[in-house]
Structure 1
């Protein structure tokens, strides 16, 4: 018997996951999306995998451009995570008007300055995985590293800090 989609989502919601912002700079604009399906794959070479909707615009742009940045969001970035998870969002730069950011040197993609960490990446390949694709990314630089920044987590459908308290409310 197939697993019920709601039950499956509720089950995986029990797993606390870090929240990241994947950004791509193409010739026209900056594209970004919130992702929580991220995993370390290899240290040599440094690889991470990111889950993206297969039919989504961010996956399409990433495949075309071939480079991106992945910013691990801090607890105060809960509003950023919400903005970038909404459908029909405008340019990434417009969603970050009040957030300090810079560009990663290799990809030119946006990275948040006050994040715990940001990775500048090159796309190795996309792997089909149901209604998603796994983007296998080679890490080429670490333009932001702030180990003291509190991480943003997604747990039970909410953005929380490392204590489990709702994040971004202060």
Structure 2
């Protein structure tokens, strides 16, 4: 599967949804290369999350999440959120430029090719991963510099 090129997406969520008292809980995020469109009507996407991971546990409790399609200049963000034994979630976001999703309160990376706000519709166990199918609630296509970030043969790459 290392020979299958994939786009790189940052999937993010907040531990608890926005309340009348303001945001609750910490932000969390993970780098994903198994992310795809499932349906246009209704708009559904799928992300594969390692079973038992922090994001798997969080997305089991919190149905609202975001996805940022990263550009080639954002490989440092992808690498940071993909590290094993990584920094605490609070430090991961420290110098990442992002805005809050209006519907999900999830961090959405500024300068990404596209951002989506999603709500989990279904979770499907699949081996050592969980397939999380989300309904796309909102999409933003901001101006972005450069092309998409790809992952191929174990490395982040630019598409030529």
- The count of corresponding residues between Structure 1 and Structure 2 is 152
Calculate the TM-score normalised by the size of structure 2. Answer: 0.89
Decide which structure has the larger Cα Rg and report it.
1
Q: Which moved more, 1:18-27 or 1:92-101?
A: 92-101
1:138 to 120, 126, 135: 135
Q: Distance in 1 between the 2:125 and 2:142 partners?
A: 31
Question: Partner of 1:42 in structure 2?
Answer: 39
**Which structure 1 residue ranges, 5 or more long, are not aligned?**
1-11, 164-170
Calculate the TM-score normalised by the size of structure 1. Answer: 0.84
Q: Residues 143 and 90 from structure 1, CA distance in 2 versus in 1: closer, same or farther, beyond 3 angstroms?
A: farther
1:25 to 4, 7, 14: 14
Q: Residues 123 and 114 from structure 1, CA distance in 2 versus in 1: closer, same or farther, beyond 3 angstroms?
A: same
**Which structure 2 residue ranges, 5 or more long, are not aligned?**
16-23
Q: Aligned-pair RMSD on alpha carbons? A: 1.5
Question: Partner of 2:5 in structure 1?
Answer: 16
Deviations 1:69-126 (A, max 9, x none): 0111111111111110112333445223333210111110001110000100000011
User: What is the SS of the residue equivalent to 1:28?
Assistant: strand
Q: Distance in 2 between the 1:87 and 1:74 partners?
A: 22
Where do residues 15-164 of structure 1 align in structure 2 (5 Å cutoff)? 15-26=4-15, 27-146=24-143, 149-163=146-160
- 8 Å CA contact 2:8–2:33 kept in 1: the answer is yes
